[in-house]
Amino acid sequence: MTTRWMKPLAGCLVVLFLMAVTLGCKEAEPLPEDTMRAFVEAWRQAQYGSMYDLISADMKQQYTADTFTARYKSIYDGIGMSGLSIQWQPVEPAQDAKSAQGAKTSSGKKTQDQDAGTALYQFHVDMSTFAGPIAYDQTARLVKEKKTDGKTSSWKVRWDSGYIHPKLTDKDKVRVEETPPLRGEIVDRQGLGLAINEVKLEIGIVPKQLPAQPDDAIQKLADLLKMNAKDIQAKLKATWVKPEYFVPVTIISADDQRLEPIVSVPGADYRKKKVRSYPLEEAAAHLVGYIGKISAEELAKYKDKGYQTDDWIGKSGLELAFESTLRGKPGGRIFITDADGKEKATLVRREPANGENVQLTIDAELQLDMYRQLEKDTGAGVALHPLTGEVLAMVSVPAYNPNLFISGVSSEQWKQWSDNPAKPLLNRFARAYTPGSAFKPLTAAIALQNHTLDPDAERSIVGKQWKKDTSWGNYYVTRVSESQSAVNLATALMYSDNIYFAQTALELGAQKFVEEASKFGFGEKWNLPVALDTSTLSNNGKMKNEVQLADSGYGQGEVLMTPLHVAATYTVFANGGTMIKPKLLLNNDEKAVPWKSGLISPEVAKTVTDKMVEVIDNPAGTGHDAQVKGLRLAGKTGTAELKTKKDEAGQENGWFVAFDTEQPRLLTAIVVEQVQDRRGSHYISPKIKSLFSSYAAKKQ
């Protein structure tokens, strides 16, 4: 009996074992969520080709891989998409049943039960765009398809354009409309414009309105605009130009008298446009700077900040330094149009946020006056309020007209700037110069403060040349005049005696000289929105020998200072020994900020100031030509020699630093290059006189 049941039982066990083996070798049934997961992950990673591989066969007949990929990429690039987030989940059974009764996906097909080869998933999309966030909900339909072997199947996505946005159909287009913000203006302390937004006339050409032979018309327009005809022709050949388009050529002022003859040229036209304008033109060019069309390199660097291909951006000066403040935030909208261009829906809209104005401590009238005094020279000038540190003027000459960067710099103009040996594009007030004798009051102040100098003691100095001893070899210090043989501090400053200050520095000693002079801001970075060179006492911070120390005592050697730093050091004399920090942004509630407190005593400050008054008031003083009736000015002239050898001729730069002492409101520092054949620093005296005379008259 046992044997009779065992055989059938054993046979059954074998059959069950073989069935298990067969089932174990069979591929696992594909799941729709695996396809949905892969599709969403590829979407998040912008792998549009991988997404296309997962769409259904019937959809692939409607969309090629290139069309599919291009639609996603062009739309997302155009709207500035970032931060894409996609959440998804299966449709609940109750929802599925309800959907099966008539709900449709974006493809227009009724949902079906998953057992019938259909699966539904809800997904939620969030993204950021240039115009603001976009979010939407959509339903994805997945269908089960047989593979090419006809035996196995896989799940695919029945995709259409509604996945990009529910309001988008296959024939619709996504459009972008950007509204640029109004750029903030840069104004002076009185609110006068230094960089403003002004309505001007944009001159252009409509190609289809040109004569059949356009060369004569283009040449006539070029002559009127003082441009090269080839530059105009190049604009007309741009790839975006169409016959009916207005092709911008240049910008002119709204009251330009050339407008009538310009528009009489066949094909020429104009339109009003609000553009950047620089009222002071060359006078404030290096300070204010200019804006220009964003370059490819800048676009790559700042694209994450919302910049677009045709945007304008600060290129130099304060326009560059305050770019984030002045620019504002662009507005715009993203909308859908149908195949005929008719607008269907706005997806997101953001109003532009205009840029903020920047108000400077600059006095536009003084800025212009200083430029006019220097416009025929090569050099720089700065002006401070000696008690507050407010920067009143910063001028560099020669200069350029920044408005040309708005209207368009011609090739001839660029060549003229580039070939000019005086380098008008170079910002000289940012450059460190050898200060020469303008440094001598600092040497005097340091020595007085350290009690190594008696201001009334007379030194016997005979002849024009002096050296300490034979260890100096053939090197010697030369003074300008040998008229004085008994020299004290007053006569040393008045006659600008190099030997006196060389000896003063040697008496201080190298260590004390470097230690005390460094306290005046040498080697320190400027906390200002304009880039300035760092002033230095020497190339390595030390004096390599006594010769260098002696030369440094009268501002030669390796001493380098920017005009602003020279001016700032003189504030110690107007503030009882405290050096005031220069500032460029106006804040009427902010008090003067000490940069270096108590560098010298009030007594030392007064002593040096009184001696500098003699430089201008005394007829024998080197700065006497700058004397202004009714003003008690203190100052110091200086001539810095740039030579490779002691006895050879070389370039000389002239300095003049001055401030009013009784009611301190103005401190100026001017450096002019190449004064060797123009009476040296005496060349600058009339300029100083004119500046203080005008400023004093204005303030009365």
Q: DSSP string of 395-407?
A: EEES---TTHHHH
Asked whether residue 116 is domain-assigned, the answer is yes
Rg of the chain taking only CA atoms, in angstroms: 39
Three-state SS for 637-655 is: EEEEEECCCCCCCCEEEEE
5 in a domain, yes or no? no
Closest of 439, 217, 402 to residue 319, by C-alpha: 402
Q: Are residues 55 and 190 in the same domain?
A: no
Q: Quote the pLDDT of residue 587.
A: 87
Helix (H) / strand (E) element for 371: namely helix 364-374
Retrieve residue 411's tokens.
Answer: 């090739």
Q: What is the pLDDT of residue 114?
A: 54
CB 530 within 8 A of CB 317: yes
According to the 3-state scheme, what is the secondary structure of 128-152?
A: EECCEEEEEEEEEEEEEEECCCCCC
The residue type found at 422 is: A
- Whether 416 is covered by a domain: the verdict is no
- Give the number of other CB atoms < 10 A from CB of residue 301: 12
How many domains, the chain? Answer: 3
Please name every residue paired with 360 in a beta bridge, in sequence order, or none if there are none.
Answer: 585
- Residues whose CB is less than 8 angstroms from the CB of residue 588 and which lie 6 or more positions away in sequence, other chains included: none
* pLDDT value at residue 340: 92
Average pLDDT over residues 168-194: 95
Position with higher pLDDT, 480 vs 157: 157
Is the predicted pLDDT of residue 289 greater than 90, yes or no?
yes
CA angle 6, 9, 10 (to 5 degrees): 85
In a domain, 177, yes or no: no
HSE (side-chain half, CA atoms, 13 Å) at 54: 22
Domain annotation covers residue 279: yes
114: three-class secondary structure by DSSP:
helix
Q: How far is CA 224 from CA 68, 207, 254, 265, 270, in A?
A: 51, 18, 16, 10, 14
The tally of CA atoms less than 13 A away on the side-chain side of residue 49 is: 1
CATH number of the domain within which 113 lies? 3.10.450.100
pLDDT in the model for residue 115: 59
- Last residue of a domain, which of 343, 358, 373? 358
CA distance 458 to 454: 9
Provide DSSP, 448-500: HHTT---TTPPEE--SSEE-SSGGGTT--EE-S--S-SEE-HHHHHHTT-HHH
Residue 605 sits in which domain range?
365-401+429-699
In this prediction, residue 514 carries a pLDDT of 96
Q: Which of 296, 329, 358 corresponds to the end of one domain?
A: 358
Q: Indicate which residues carry an active-site annotation.
A: 437
pLDDT band at 334 (very low <50, low <70, confident <90, very high): very high
Tokens 């020998």 belong to residue = 545
| Same-domain pairing of 351 and 371 | no
Which two tokens mark 87? 């959440």
- Co-location of 373 and 319 in the same domain: no
Q: For the purposes of burial, counting CB atoms within 10 Å of the CB of 300, is it exposed (0-12), middle (13-18) or buried (19 or more)?
A: exposed
B/e letters for 327-350, b = 16+ CB within 10 Å, e = fewer, are bbebbbbbbbeeeeeeeeeebbeb
Q: How many angstroms separate the first and last alpha carbons of the chain?
A: 136
Q: Say if residue 120 is in the same domain as residue 150.
A: yes
Q: Are residues 159 and 200 in the same domain?
A: no
Phi, psi of 136, deg, nearest 5: -160, 160
pLDDT > 90? residue 23: no
Average pLDDT of the residues of the chain: 90
Gap between the Cα atoms of 674 and 430, Å rounded: 18
Residue 22 scores a pLDDT above 60 = no
Decide if 23 is inside a domain: no
Beta bridge partners of 65: none
> Does residue 97 surpass a pLDDT of 60?
no
Please give the average per-residue pLDDT across 156-180, as a whole number.
95
Query: Quick one: 302 and 369 in the same domain?
Result: no
Q: Which pLDDT value is given to residue 94?
A: 53
* 251 falls within a domain: yes
Pairing of strands 358-359, 186-187: parallel
Q: Which of 133, 167, 201 is the last residue of a domain?
A: 167
3-state class (DSSP) for residue 104? strand
Nearest to 315 by CA among 333, 302, 331, 306: 302
Mean pLDDT to the nearest integer, 650-662: 93
Q: Report yes or no: 626 and 635 within 8 Å, Cβ to Cβ.
A: yes
Question: DSSP of 248-262, one letter per residue?
Answer: EEEEE-TT-TTHHHH
pLDDT (0 to 100) of residue 592? 84
Whether 121 is in a domain gets the answer yes
Cβ atoms of 367 and 390 within 8 Å: the answer is: no
- The candidate with the shortest Cα–Cα distance to 597, out of 625, 578, 618, 620, is 578
pLDDT tens, position by position, 263-287: 999 999 999 999 999 999 999 999 9
The domain that holds 479 is classified in CATH as 3.40.710.10
pTM: 0.81
Residues 436 and 323 reside in one and the same domain = no
More confident position, 19 or 85: 85
Percent of the chain with pLDDT over 70: 91
Q: Do both 347 and 457 map to the same domain?
A: no
Rounded CA gap, 163 and 150, in Å?
29
| Conformation bin of residue 674: beta by default, left when phi > 0, alpha when psi is -120 to 50 | left
348 shares a domain with 373: no
Query: Which is higher by pLDDT, 26 or 36?
Result: 36
Both 233 and 85 in one domain: the answer is: no
Query: What pLDDT is recorded for position 409?
Result: 87
Secondary structure of the chain: what % helix, strand, coil (to 5)? 35, 25, 40
State the average pLDDT over residues 111-140. Answer: 87
User: Which residue, chain included where needed, has tokens 């005046």?
Assistant: 520
Nearest Cα neighbor of 369 from 351, 340, 393, 352 is 393
Shared domain check, 102 and 58: yes
Kindly report the CATH number assigned to the domain that includes residue 216.
3.30.1390.30
Residues 382 and 323 in one domain: no
Q: What is the rounded CA–CA span in Å between residue 398 and residue 420?
A: 10
pLDDT at 337 over 90: yes
Task: Quote the pLDDT of residue 113.
Answer: 53
8-state DSSP, 429: T
Contact (Cβ atoms closer than 8 angstroms) between residue 225 and residue 262:
yes
Determine the Cα–Cα distance for residues 673 and 332; give it in Å rounded to an integer: 51
